[in-house]
Amino acid sequence: MKFALALLLLPFGLFAQAKPADDEINWLDNYPAALREAKATGKPIFLEYRCEP
Amino acid sequence: MDNVDIGLFEHDRNNTIYFYLLNADEQIYMRYGGRDARSADSYLSLDSLALAAAKGLDLHKQYQAGQLAKKPRPKEDSARNYSMLVERTFKSNACVECHLIGDFQNLHREKDGTLDKLVHLFRSPDVRTIGIELDVPKGLVVRDVSGAAKAAGMQAGDRIAKWEGDTVWTFADVQWRYDKVARTAKATRVTVERAGVFVDLTIALPVRWWWTDTRYRQSSIEPRSYFDDRALTAEEKGKLGLPLDGLASYVKYVSSMAYSVAAHDLKVGDIILSVDGKDRDEHADTASLYIILHKAPGDTGTLEVLRDGKKISMPLKTIRMSFRK
């Protein structure tokens, strides 16, 4: 299995709003940009490190 | 992993998937993930992730209301601080694979003499070793308890709330904090919530509490000696007149690589009596563990082996798994 990094960021409304049928998850792959967005929106960050097979 | 502070996001790099919940000030609320040798998802479930996320939102509200104490930021670190990793990955525009960060940190530690194998190779001690079986979908609720944890007073149904005084919300929090316990420690402090009451427990740590099955992270464990063994039972040692606290072990598997690289001439069924004349060790209960703890890749040595009732000696050569690094 190959391990690779996928640094994805998710504005945290996902779990609070829980409308997967309506909402497309807007994952970000740029950490500094995610920090800026979190600061601007007041949302927390859900950050994922993933092994890509 | 470029432009990421690996000092802030510090975790066992052999996890297949790992999450952090944090805020824009980079205050980490919790981690989510953790694995063991049984499976990459032994401790993952959507239910426990939902529990963690709900708690994370609650903590975020507290943070926004100024009610959450700030934690000191860990020392900053970067994958680019490891020159051998830079050479292996960045310079050739290759992927900086998660486990490579851990592997190359250890290579640098080996080079500068700071590698502590009990800490850096045996990361993420298994809580089952001290008798804790979690009800994984329920987060940190204990499903079954035995051994050292039971002796300390832990009960099924308890929710683990603190480890060594630090609040924990997820298994990843527990595994990360437990990993920070000094390998010389004789006990670890755990607080559980039981029927709304917090109860402090002191769990006596058994011998080799830090040991974990490293087969799932074999490419990160050096040196390689290409055999697997098990400790002889007390009865087996008694029959052979061997010291009960010795490291005599039964060879149960020999990789064909052992012959390819002329590492040794072990056969399944051999009993290894000593390594370099040492038949007991403070930490190791098997010859393979002794070799990992006391040999550097490329070191040679001598195995004393019992084969078909006769003692024989054979040379040992250890290997570095260089093709992954």
For residue range B1-52, what is the model confidence (pLDDT) as tens digits? 677 899 999 999 999 899 999 999 999 999 999 999 899 999 999 999 999 9
Nearest residue of A to residue B30, measured between CA atoms:
A46
Q: Could you tell me which residues are beta bridge partners of residue B59?
A: none
B266: nearest Cα among B294, B319, B230, B225: B225
The answer, yes or no, to whether residue B183 has pLDDT greater than 50, is yes
- Who's near A24: CB < 8 A, 6+ residues apart? none
Nearest residue of B to residue A8, measured between CA atoms:
B19
Q: Could you tell me the pLDDT band of residue A8, with boundaries at 50, 70 and 90?
A: very low
Q: Which residues from chain B sit within 8 angstroms of residue A7, using beta carbons?
A: 1, 4
Query: How many residue contacts between A and B have a Cβ separation below 8 Å?
Result: 80
Q: B16-39: string of b/e by CB count within 10 Å (b at 16+)?
A: bbbbbbbbbeebbbbbbbbbbeee
CA angle B176, B181, B186 (to 5 degrees): 145
The answer, yes or no, to whether residue A35 has pLDDT greater than 60, is yes
Residue A5 pLDDT: 35
CB contact under 8 A, A15 and B29: no
Alpha-carbon distance of B191 to B15, in angstroms, equals: 26
Alpha-carbon distance of B298 to B322, in angstroms, equals: 11
With beta carbons less than 8 A apart as the criterion, state whether B251 and B267 touch. Answer: yes
- Round the average pLDDT of chain B to a whole number and report it: 94
The answer, yes or no, to whether residue A9 has pLDDT greater than 60, is no
Query: Chain B within 8 Å of A15 (Cβ-Cβ)?
Result: yes
Residue B261 pLDDT: 93
Q: What torsion do the CA atoms of B187, B193, B199, B202 make, to the nearest 10 degrees?
A: -10
Q: Could you tell me the pLDDT band of residue B114, with boundaries at 50, 70 and 90?
A: very high
- Distance between start and end Cα atoms, chain A: 5
Structure tokens at B98: 């998660």
Query: What value does the mean pLDDT take over residues B73-92?
Result: 92
Query: Chain B within 8 Å of A50 (Cβ-Cβ)?
Result: yes
Alpha-carbon distance of B53 to B70, in angstroms, equals: 20
Determine what percent of chain A is predicted with pLDDT higher than 90.
Answer: 32
Read off the pLDDT of residues B221-244 as tens digits, 9 standing for 90 and up. 899 999 999 999 999 999 999 999
Q: Could you tell me which residues are beta bridge partners of residue B310?
A: B307
Residue A43 pLDDT: 94
The answer, yes or no, to whether residue B64 has pLDDT greater than 60, is yes
Residue B99 pLDDT: 86
Nearest residue of B to residue A37, measured between CA atoms:
B24
Q: Residue B85, Cα to own-chain centre: how many angstroms?
A: 22
The answer, yes or no, to whether residue A6 has pLDDT greater than 80, is no
Residue A17 pLDDT: 40
Read off the pLDDT of residues B120-159 as tens digits, 9 standing for 90 and up. 999 999 999 999 999 999 999 999 999 999 999 999 999 9
Residue B325 pLDDT: 56
Nearest residue of A to residue B52, measured between CA atoms:
A15
- Who's near B305: CB < 8 A, 6+ residues apart? B266, B270, B271, B272, B273, B311, B312, B313, B314
Lateral strand order in the sheet of B197-204: B166-167, B159-163, B187-194, B197-204
CA distances from B122 to A21, B129, B163, B216, B220 (A): 43, 13, 19, 12, 10
Read off the pLDDT of residues B298-323 as tens digits, 9 standing for 90 and up. 999 999 999 999 999 999 999 988 65
Helix, strand, coil proportions of chain B in percent (round to 5)? 30, 25, 45
Query: Chain B within 8 Å of A8 (Cβ-Cβ)?
Result: no
Has the ipTM of the complex gone over 0.95?
Answer: no
- Higher pLDDT among residues B266 and B220, named by residue: B266
Residue B219 pLDDT: 78
Query: What value does the mean pLDDT take over residues B249-268?
Result: 96
Query: Chain B within 8 Å of A49 (Cβ-Cβ)?
Result: yes
The answer, yes or no, to whether residue B78 has pLDDT greater than 90, is yes
Query: What value does the mean pLDDT take over residues B279-302?
Result: 96
Q: Which candidate in B23, B218, B220, B323 is best for mutational testing of the A interface (most A CBs within 10 A)?
A: B23
CB contact under 8 A, B19 and A48: yes
Q: Could you tell me the pLDDT band of residue A53, with boundaries at 50, 70 and 90?
A: low
Question: What secondary structure does DSSP assign to B106-147, as a single string?
Answer: HHHHHHHT---HHHHTS-S--GGGGTEEE-GGGSSBEEEE-H
With beta carbons less than 8 A apart as the criterion, state whether A49 and B5 touch. Answer: no
Q: What torsion do the CA atoms of B293, B299, B301, B305 make, to the nearest 10 degrees?
A: 60
Determine what percent of chain B is predicted with pLDDT higher than 90.
Answer: 87
The answer, yes or no, to whether residue B101 has pLDDT greater than 60, is yes
Query: Chain B within 8 Å of A47 (Cβ-Cβ)?
Result: yes
Peptide bond into B223 cis (omega under 30): yes
The answer, yes or no, to whether residue A12 has pLDDT greater than 70, is no
Distance in Å, alpha carbon of A39 to nearest chain B alpha carbon: 5
CB contact under 8 A, B18 and A15: no
Residue B97 pLDDT: 84
